[in-house]
């Protein structure tokens, strides 16, 4: 009954937000949506969600879409508009394929709305960053701090509501891996921006998020975090070779010390003695990494039935789960859902964007931080359900929108914000 009352209050609040949406500042909207989404699943990893998570998630997603559709200034540039429309067309086409395969149902709407809300977060963040670049970067750095603090405090107190099985911290997320995905992205953003600007407070925020990632005992999350931070150091043109070497050695030592003093060292035993060939031949394994290989092979075997167009967006999260779970791989999921044609189109768009980032890394620190986030997403996403972790995808979309801003109308990079130039003196 209490939860029903909370649900009614939340619905009433959502209606009120919709009415006030035209006069609410864009910065408030995007920060509230991304921050609130990181708390909607609190308790879900232990005894059960304390809040109506499905209702909240849907409401926040719809709110983001409506806010992005409102005509406000500054407008998106033509290149951004074209990318948004192309992504939207791809979502609609893949939804049509899903409906042709499995029929029209609630599942046919749920995933497209979720993906559309991720695109909407990017649109909102992009607009805000063009209007107030300094403020939007500050908001991006701090938006993950509340969830990181809650997770760290939950781990320190061993609060059962904030923990998962195996003494893994989950905080306000549905699973420790989902928490690790969100917090690792938050850590790379805060540490990268803090180091580039000289703001120690931002670096502290990043360290707190990094500790939270460690407490989740997520191998993929820690591997993504380490890869992202190493990318930031190695791709940063302002670091000399000797400084890069010193930072990498010091960072490697710190990571080894942290892992060796935590329960994560026990999870590394899963890698030792792994027998992928034996697991594939038997089709069964209690080892999580071996299980992933089996799951991937099962998905790819089914994918061969519809290799060109795939089975449609969201099909690997409900309609087709050969081992009772989603793909646990960004690449397998995209290939299965979008087929060869869709996956190739995504790869071409990604490669073009990555080339632009690489060419800009000597001119703008934001490109380096974004490259670090890309590395993290590729490494972590290769063995996790990263695309299905809505909180992490919201934060990533927020980062892309903010860190990818700062262009003039002809596409050239604008100078670094004045406050950052002052901090570096």
pLDDT tens string 34-54: 999 999 999 998 877 887 788
Highest mean pLDDT among 198-202, 290-294, 321-325: 198-202
pTM value?
A: 0.90
What gap in Å lies between CA 421 and CA 418, rounded to an integer?
Answer: 5
Distances (CA, A) of 413 to 130, 153, 222: 12, 41, 32
pLDDT tens string 220-278: 999 999 999 999 999 887 788 888 888 888 888 888 888 887 777 777 776 766 767 67
* Residue 283 placed within a domain: no
What gap in Å lies between CA 141 and CA 152, rounded to an integer?
Answer: 17
Q: What is the mean pLDDT of residues 141-156?
A: 96
What gap in Å lies between CA 164 and CA 27, rounded to an integer?
Answer: 33
Q: Is 168 helix (H, G, I), strand (E, B) or coil?
A: strand
State the alpha helices, DSSP H only, in 25-132. Answer: 26-37, 53-69, 78-102, 107-131
Distances (CA, A) of 29 to 40, 124, 125, 140, 252: 16, 8, 9, 13, 38
pLDDT tens string 189-199: 999 999 998 89
Buried b (16+ CB within 10 A) or exposed e, 379-389: bbbbbbbbbbb
* Residue 66 placed within a domain: yes
Asked if 95 contacts 105 with a C-beta cutoff of 8 angstroms, the reply is: no
Q: What is the pLDDT of residue 418?
A: 42
Q: What is the pLDDT of residue 288?
A: 81
pLDDT at residue 138 is higher than 80: yes
The number of distinct structural domains making up the chain is 1
208 CA to centre of own chain: 18
Read off φ and ψ for residue 163, nearest 5 degrees.
Answer: -115, 165
* Residue 418 placed within a domain: no
Which of 143, 126, 236, 133 lies closest to 190 in space, CA to CA?
143
Element (H, E) at 63: helix 53-69
* Residue 419 placed within a domain: no
Q: CB-hemisphere CA count at 13 Å for 412? A: 3
* Residue 147 placed within a domain: yes
**What's the chain's Rg over C-alpha atoms?**
21
* Residue 6 placed within a domain: no
What gap in Å lies between CA 197 and CA 187, rounded to an integer?
Answer: 15
Read off φ and ψ for residue 169, nearest 5 degrees.
Answer: -75, 135
Q: Which residue has the tokens 């519809």?
A: 306
* Residue 423 placed within a domain: no
What gap in Å lies between CA 185 and CA 393, rounded to an integer?
Answer: 10
Which of 57, 119, 64, 122 lies closest to 88 in space, CA to CA?
119
Q: What is the pLDDT of residue 15?
A: 66
Which of 56, 76, 64 lies closest to 26 in space, CA to CA?
64
* Residue 282 placed within a domain: no
What gap in Å lies between CA 213 and CA 220, rounded to an integer?
Answer: 10
Which of 149, 202, 193 lies closest to 38 in space, CA to CA?
149
Q: What is the mean pLDDT of residues 171-184?
A: 96
pLDDT at residue 362 is higher than 60: yes
> Sign of dihedral through CA atoms 283, 328, 180, 108?
negative
Q: What is the pLDDT of residue 10?
A: 57
Q: Look up residue 270 and give its DSSP letter.
A: G
pLDDT at residue 127 is higher than 80: yes
Q: Look up residue 273 and give its DSSP letter.
A: T
Q: What is the mean pLDDT of residues 361-377?
A: 88
What gap in Å lies between CA 175 and CA 184, rounded to an integer?
Answer: 14
* Residue 163 domain boundaries: 26-264+291-409
pLDDT at residue 169 is higher than 90: yes
Asked if 386 contacts 377 with a C-beta cutoff of 8 angstroms, the reply is: yes
Element (H, E) at 169: strand 168-169
What token pair was written down for 200? 């120690």
Cis peptide bond upstream of 74, omega within 30: yes
The DSSP string of 303-335 is HTTSTTT-S-TTGGGTT--TTSS--S-HHHHHH
Q: What is the pLDDT of residue 144?
A: 96
């Amino acid at each position: 009954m209490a939860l029903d009352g909370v649900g009614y209050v939340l619905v009433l609040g959502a209606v009120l937000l919709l009415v006030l949406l035209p006069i609410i500042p864009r910065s408030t909207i995007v920060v509230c949506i991304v921050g609130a989404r990181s708390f909607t699943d609190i308790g879900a990893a232990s005894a059960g969600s304390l809040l109506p998570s499905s209702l909240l998630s849907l409401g926040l997603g719809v709110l983001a879409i409506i806010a992005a559709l409102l005509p406000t200034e500054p407008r998106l540039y033509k290149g951004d508009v074209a990318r948004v429309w192309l992504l939207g067309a791809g979502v609609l086409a893949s939804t049509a394929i899903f409906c042709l395969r499995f029929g029209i149902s609630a599942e046919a709407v749920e995933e497209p709305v979720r993906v559309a809300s991720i695109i909407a977060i990017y649109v909102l963040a992009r607009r805000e960053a063009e209007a107030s670049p300094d403020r939007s970067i500050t908001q991006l750095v701090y938006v993950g701090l509340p969830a990181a603090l809650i997770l760290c405090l939950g781990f320190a107190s061993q609060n059962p509501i904030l923990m998962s099985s195996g003494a893994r911290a989950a905080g306000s997320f549905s699973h420790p891996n989902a928490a690790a995905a969100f917090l690792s992205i938050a850590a790379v953003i805060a540490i990268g921006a803090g180091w580039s600007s000289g703001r120690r407070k931002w670096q502290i925020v990043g360290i707190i998020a990094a500790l939270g990632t460690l407490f989740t005992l997520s191998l993929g999350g820690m591997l993504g975090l380490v890869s992202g931070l190493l990318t930031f150091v190695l791709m940063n043109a302002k670091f000399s070779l000797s400084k890069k070497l010193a930072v990498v050695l010091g960072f490697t030592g710190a990571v080894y010390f942290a892992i060796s003093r935590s329960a994560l060292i026990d999870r590394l035993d899963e890698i030792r003695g792994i027998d992928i060939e034996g697991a594939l031949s038997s089709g069964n394994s209690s080892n999580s990494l071996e299980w992933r290989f089996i799951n991937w092979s099962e998905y790819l075997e089914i994918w061969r039935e519809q290799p060109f167009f795939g089975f449609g967006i969201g099909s690997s999260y409900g309609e087709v789960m050969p081992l009772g779970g989603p793909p646990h791989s960004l690449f397998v999921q995209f290939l299965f859902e979008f087929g060869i044609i869709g996956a190739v189109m995504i790869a071409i768009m990604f490669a073009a964007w990555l080339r632009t980032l690489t060419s800009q890394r000597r001119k703008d620190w934001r490109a380096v931080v974004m490259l670090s986030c890309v590395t993290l997403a590729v490494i972590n996403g290769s063995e996790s359900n990263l695309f299905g972790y809505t909180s992490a995808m919201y934060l990533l979309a927020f980062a892309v929108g903010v860190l990818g801003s700062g262009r003039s109308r002809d596409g050239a990079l604008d100078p670094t914000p004045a406050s950052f130039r002052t901090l570096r003196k």
